[in-house]
């Protein structure tokens, strides 16, 4: 089995995890989960970067030792990634003993080979970046990434790595291995900058004590510079054995997945270090773009922060994972908005995916007593089309995932979800059931369950929690991640005879009117409805209102409220008829409306009813209801309605029941 070793950048612990951190970890997790599905022996490394001037100062400000502070902060990062379902295999900390030993051994290797020399350095230092800033990169006296922070002038006697010796070897490696730096735009940036010339870089600090100590035999007055220390974590995670040329079965790394702002360290300093130490280079460094918020890069020091855990607590981890992978094209920057998140949640997850699953499960339960039927009869063109969309989605998404184009892969998967929803409308299972076409109905239901199962396997890297729930309600054994990606093409073989389980909404809809998109306070539609009821109840229960009501009741004791009475002549104006629902479908773009085609015996009509929250469209077909047949035509959301059905609410208005007839009567029969 081929191995796949993927790493992320390790995060500074001077602040809590924000959305920028989460985006990187989610992207890497999607890749790692896909690689496992594709049959790779995958190892996923992430962790925290704990040695820095920032950390030492922050710990001092909070009255803690640096290690005590790091223990607290590392716990917060680990907890955040657990809540986001990040499937890392090791959470490494740069304070781990094996990492300290690895760093010191690499320093020794470089020293023995003559690539480390002592010298004096002076320059401007950005504490937020934990790096010296080249004069050519300084913008109005500030760091380009942290314009609100003053740069510090630093003069030190340090040890330097001979980076200048590796200009040509680096250019040669990049030229011969174009996949080493991705996307191509990052590769071009790095190559152009290398061609400008390389300077030796500091690998130690003499004014700090919080860091990995330099090997005693070289100089016990120095600590390893945080950036040099951090990069070496990838070797530690791979199983590097200090003192021997053993790097573990995982090395070289197959993919370093990092932000575009640190490509220089990963694509120049890091490979040069490995060349100098005679260690194989990683295969690929992918520099992803930034998630911005209102156009600004996520940054604690700049005050641009979105708490990912707040979103998880409101909408679940899958919602955030899905939106970030959809909204931020891989390798490019993308802007995050709470409104965009809510729209994607309602449109894609609640409507497209959630409704597809719920409708299909409900129909299998209703028409086949919850058991997925075996294939019967000959496939029709409609069936072949859905199956081909499924096969294409599996192939195309696989190719895009291998290319690390996660956004496009998600789009390919969604073509199957969209096609399955269209298949329901075109195949009209409710009509097949009414007409007694049991064999055809069985084929349709099997095709729908197969499409969902295929989609769930492919979606499991993106939305693992929901995928497992769907897998469970389908009645399939194990978990979707147990299925190999290529085996997904044959998933239909698992389906006949399995027992489905009805469930509530996978993604309860959000109320767009009462959700606050400025702060990310989301309100579910059902909760918003309850809130409105509470408001009305409070208004009704005000003292003044109660007094007026009591006065009215006292005045009307023993007599009916005259204004509610109608004459027999008024009632005679209503033309109430029995009608059969022959077609039903949700009105596109709405949550509550259903378009019904009714048979009144002498004619067929279209009416629009606000009952989608209480009845699925397929449940309505075949019901004999009572309608007001002589209601003036009206347009509801642009759809013509010629009539009104009658229904009754429970007292709390949580349930609605259609008024139907209990014995067969001809369509169009008058109700009187």
User: Are 475 and 547 in the same domain?
Assistant: no
Last residue of a domain, one of 450, 478, 494: 494
Report the alpha-carbon distance of residue 483 to residue 455 in Å, rounded. 12
pLDDT in tens, 312-351: 998 999 999 999 999 998 889 999 999 999 999 999 999 9
More confident residue, 172 or 530: 172
Residues of the domain holding 637: 568-671
Per-residue pLDDT at 525 exceeds 80 = no
Last residue of a domain, one of 540, 564, 588: 564
Q: Which tokens sit at 650?
A: 């429970």
Given the structure tokens 């956004």, which residue do they identify?
407
User: Are 451 and 364 in the same domain?
Assistant: yes
User: Are 483 and 358 in the same domain?
Assistant: yes
Mean pLDDT of 416-443: 95
Per-residue pLDDT at 284 exceeds 90 = yes
Find the catalytic residue in 146, 256, 260, 330. 146
Give a yes or no: residue 68 inside a domain: no
Q: Which tokens sit at 625?
A: 């209801």
Q: Which tokens sit at 124?
A: 């401007």
Report the alpha-carbon distance of residue 34 to residue 31 in Å, rounded. 5
Closest CA to 112 of 294, 268, 243: 243
pLDDT in tens, 195-247: 999 999 999 988 888 999 999 999 999 999 999 999 999 999 999 999 887 88
Tell me if residue 267 is catalytic. no
What number of other Cβ atoms are within 10 A of residue 627's Cβ? 25
Report the alpha-carbon distance of residue 520 to residue 313 in Å, rounded. 11
User: Are 622 and 654 in the same domain?
Assistant: yes
More confident residue, 162 or 618: 162
User: Are 594 and 551 in the same domain?
Assistant: no
Give a yes or no: residue 13 inside a domain: no
Per-residue pLDDT at 29 exceeds 50 = yes
- Predicted confidence at residue 654, as pLDDT, reads 63
- Predicted confidence at residue 531, as pLDDT, reads 53
What number of other Cβ atoms are within 10 A of residue 441's Cβ? 24
Per-residue pLDDT at 297 exceeds 80 = no
Give a yes or no: residue 141 inside a domain: no
User: Are 543 and 577 in the same domain?
Assistant: no
Residue 229: strand, helix, or coil: helix
Find the catalytic residue in 35, 70, 129, 256. 129
**Per-residue exposure over 34-72, b if at least 16 CB sit within 10 Å of its own CB, e if not:** bbbbbebebbbbbbbbbbbbbbbebbeeeeeebeebbee
Mean pLDDT of 622-643: 86
Tell me if residue 129 is catalytic. yes
pLDDT in tens, 255-275: 999 999 999 999 999 999 999
Give a yes or no: residue 395 inside a domain: yes
HSE-CB at 590 with a 13 A cutoff on CA atoms is 18
Report the alpha-carbon distance of residue 237 to residue 87 in Å, rounded. 15
More confident residue, 542 or 585: 585
User: Are 532 and 573 in the same domain?
Assistant: no
More confident residue, 292 or 428: 428
Residue 370 pLDDT grade (very low, low, confident, very high; cuts 50, 70, 90): very high
Specify whether the CB–CB gap between 321 and 85 falls below 8 A.
yes
Range scoring the smallest mean pLDDT among 199-208, 397-406, 461-470:
199-208
- Predicted confidence at residue 526, as pLDDT, reads 62
Give a yes or no: residue 514 inside a domain: no
Report the alpha-carbon distance of residue 80 to residue 560 in Å, rounded. 62
Given the structure tokens 């699953």, which residue do they identify?
357
Mean pLDDT of 152-167: 89
- Predicted confidence at residue 610, as pLDDT, reads 87
Distances (CA, A) of 217 to 95, 107, 114, 214, 274: 21, 11, 15, 9, 22
Find the catalytic residue in 165, 300, 366, 422. 300
| Radius of gyration for the chain, computed over Cα atoms and rounded to the nearest angstrom | 32
Mean pLDDT of 398-409: 96
Report the alpha-carbon distance of residue 155 to residue 9 in Å, rounded. 28
> What is the number of domains present in the chain?
3
More confident residue, 588 or 393: 393
Specify whether the CB–CB gap between 50 and 93 falls below 8 A.
yes
Tell me if residue 146 is catalytic. yes
Long-range contacts of 237-245 (CB under 8 A, 24+ apart): 237/7, 237/43, 237/45, 237/47, 237/90, 237/92, 238/5, 238/45, 240/102, 240/105, 242/101, 242/102, 242/104, 242/105, 243/105, 245/278
Specify whether the CB–CB gap between 21 and 324 falls below 8 A.
no
Q: What are phi and psi of 644, to 5 degrees?
A: -145, 135
Q: Where are the beta strands (DSSP E) in 527-593?
A: 576-586
User: Are 471 and 536 in the same domain?
Assistant: no
Give a yes or no: residue 153 inside a domain: no
Q: Which tokens sit at 418?
A: 């969209």
Specify whether the CB–CB gap between 247 and 238 falls below 8 A.
yes
Per-residue pLDDT at 391 exceeds 50 = yes
- Predicted confidence at residue 619, as pLDDT, reads 80
CATH number at residue 359: 1.10.730.10
Last residue of a domain, one of 539, 564, 589: 564
pLDDT in tens, 471-524: 999 999 899 999 899 887 677 777 889 999 988 889 999 988 888 887 888 888
Specify whether the CB–CB gap between 171 and 194 falls below 8 A.
yes
User: Are 358 and 345 in the same domain?
Assistant: yes
Residue 72: strand, helix, or coil: helix
Report the alpha-carbon distance of residue 220 to residue 206 in Å, rounded. 10
Q: What are phi and psi of 629, to 5 degrees?
A: -85, -20
Give a yes or no: residue 287 inside a domain: no
Per-chain mean pLDDT for the chain: 87
pLDDT in tens, 563-591: 456 666 667 678 899 998 988 888 877 77
Residue 549 pLDDT grade (very low, low, confident, very high; cuts 50, 70, 90): very low
Report the alpha-carbon distance of residue 618 to residue 362 in Å, rounded. 9
Report the alpha-carbon distance of residue 672 to residue 666 in Å, rounded. 15
- Of the chain, the percentage scoring pLDDT greater than 70 comes to 89
Tell me if residue 126 is catalytic. yes
- Predicted confidence at residue 666, as pLDDT, reads 83
Query: Which strand (E) or helix (H) includes residue 413?
Result: helix 406-427
Per-residue pLDDT at 551 exceeds 80 = no
Distances (CA, A) of 222 to 192, 218, 660: 33, 9, 86
pLDDT in tens, 126-139: 766 666 677 667 77
User: Are 558 and 640 in the same domain?
Assistant: no
Find the catalytic residue in 83, 165, 283, 297. 297
Per-residue pLDDT at 25 exceeds 50 = yes
- Of the chain, the percentage scoring pLDDT greater than 90 comes to 61
User: Are 544 and 464 in the same domain?
Assistant: no
Q: For 654, which DSSP code? A: S
Report the alpha-carbon distance of residue 455 to residue 415 in Å, rounded. 10
Give a yes or no: residue 417 inside a domain: yes
Residue 201: strand, helix, or coil: strand
User: Are 475 and 390 in the same domain?
Assistant: yes
> What phi-psi label fits residue 393: left (phi over 0), alpha (psi between -120 and 50 degrees) or beta?
alpha
Find the catalytic residue in 21, 398, 454, 624. 21
Find the catalytic residue in 70, 143, 266, 398. 143
CA 498 to chain CA centroid, nearest Å = 29
This prediction's pTM: 0.77
Find the catalytic residue in 126, 266, 267, 400. 126
- Predicted confidence at residue 653, as pLDDT, reads 62
- Predicted confidence at residue 141, as pLDDT, reads 74
Residue 547 pLDDT grade (very low, low, confident, very high; cuts 50, 70, 90): very low
Tell me if residue 18 is catalytic. yes
Tell me if residue 99 is catalytic. no
More confident residue, 378 or 424: 424
């Amino acid at each position: 089995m081929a191995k796949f070793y993927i790493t992320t950048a390790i995060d500074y612990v001077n602040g809590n995890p924000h959305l920028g951190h989460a985006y990187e970890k989610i992207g890497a997790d999607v890749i790692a989960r896909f690689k496992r599905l594709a049959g790779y022996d995958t190892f996923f490394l992430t962790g925290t970067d704990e040695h820095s001037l920032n950390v030492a100062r922050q710990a001092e400000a909070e009255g803690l030792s640096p290690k005590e502070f790091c223990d607290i902060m590392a716990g917060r990062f680990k907890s955040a990634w657990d809540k986001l379902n990040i499937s890392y295999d090791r959470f490494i900390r740069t304070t781990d003993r094996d990492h300290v030993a690895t760093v010191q051994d690499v320093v020794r290797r470089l020293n023995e080979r003559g690539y480390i020399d002592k010298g004096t350095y002076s320059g401007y230092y950005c504490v937020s970046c934990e790096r010296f800033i080249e004069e050519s990169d300084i913008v109005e006296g500030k760091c380009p990434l942290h314009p609100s922070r003053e740069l510090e002038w630093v003069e030190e006697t340090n040890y330097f790595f001979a980076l200048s010796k590796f200009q040509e070897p680096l250019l040669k490696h990049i030229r011969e291995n174009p996949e080493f730096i991705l996307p191509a735009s990052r590769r071009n940036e790095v190559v152009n900058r290398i061609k400008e010339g390389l300077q030796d870089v500091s690998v130690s600090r003499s004014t700090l004590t919080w860091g990995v100590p330099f090997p005693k035999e070289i100089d016990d007055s120095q600590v390893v510079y945080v950036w040099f220390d951090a990069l070496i974590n990838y070797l530690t995670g791979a199983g590097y054995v200090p003192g021997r040329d053993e790097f573990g079965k995982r090395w070289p790394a197959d993919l370093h997945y990092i932000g575009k702002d640190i490509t220089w360290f990963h694509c120049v300093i890091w490979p040069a270090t490995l060349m100098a130490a005679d260690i194989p280079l990683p295969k690929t460094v992918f520099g992803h773009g930034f998630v911005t918020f209102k156009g600004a890069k996520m940054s604690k020091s700049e005050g641009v922060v979105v708490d990912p855990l707040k979103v998880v607590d409101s909408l679940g981890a899958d919602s955030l994972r899905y939106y970030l992978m959809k909204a931020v094209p891989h390798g490019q920057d993308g802007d995050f908005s709470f409104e965009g998140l809510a729209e994607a949640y309602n449109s894609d997850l609640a409507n497209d995916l959630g409704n597809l699953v719920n409708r299909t499960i409900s129909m299998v339960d209703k028409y086949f007593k919850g058991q997925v039927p075996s294939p019967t009869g000959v496939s029709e063109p409609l069936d072949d089309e859905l199956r081909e969309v499924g096969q294409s989605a599996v192939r195309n998404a696989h190719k895009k995932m291998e290319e690390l184009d996660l956004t496009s892969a998600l789009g390919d998967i969604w073509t199957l979800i969209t096609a399955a929803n269209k298949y329901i409308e075109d195949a009209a299972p409710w009509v097949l059931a009414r007409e007694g076409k049991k064999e055809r109905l069985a084929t349709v239901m099997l095709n729908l369950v197969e499409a969902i199962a295929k989609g769930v396997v492919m979606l499991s890297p993106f939305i693992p929690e929901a995928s497992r729930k769907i897998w469970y309600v389908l009645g399939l054994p194990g978990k979707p991640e147990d299925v190999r990606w290529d085996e997904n093409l044959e998933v239909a073989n698992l389906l006949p005879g399995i027992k489905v389980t009805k469930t509530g909404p996978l993604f309860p809809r959000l109320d767009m009117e009462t959700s606050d998109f400025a702060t990310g306070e989301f309100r579910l539609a059902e909760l918003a409805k309850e809130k409105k009821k509470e408001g009305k109840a409070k208004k009704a229960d005000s003292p003044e209102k109660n007094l007026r009501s009591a006065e009215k009741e006292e005045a009307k004791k023993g007599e009916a409220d005259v204004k509610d009475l109608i004459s027999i002549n008024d009632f005679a104006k209503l033309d109430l008829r029995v009608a059969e629902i022959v077609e039903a479908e949700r009105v596109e773009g709405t949550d509550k409306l259903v378009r019904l085609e009714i048979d009144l015996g002498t004619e067929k009509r279209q009416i629009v009813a606000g009952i989608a929250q209480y009845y699925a469209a397929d449940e309505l077909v075949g019901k004999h209801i009572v309608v007001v047949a002589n209601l003036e035509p009206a347009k509801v959301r642009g759809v013509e309605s010629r009539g009104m059905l009658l229904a009754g609410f429970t007292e709390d208005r949580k349930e609605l029941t259609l008024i139907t007839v209990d014995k067969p009567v001809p369509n169009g029969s008058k109700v009187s």
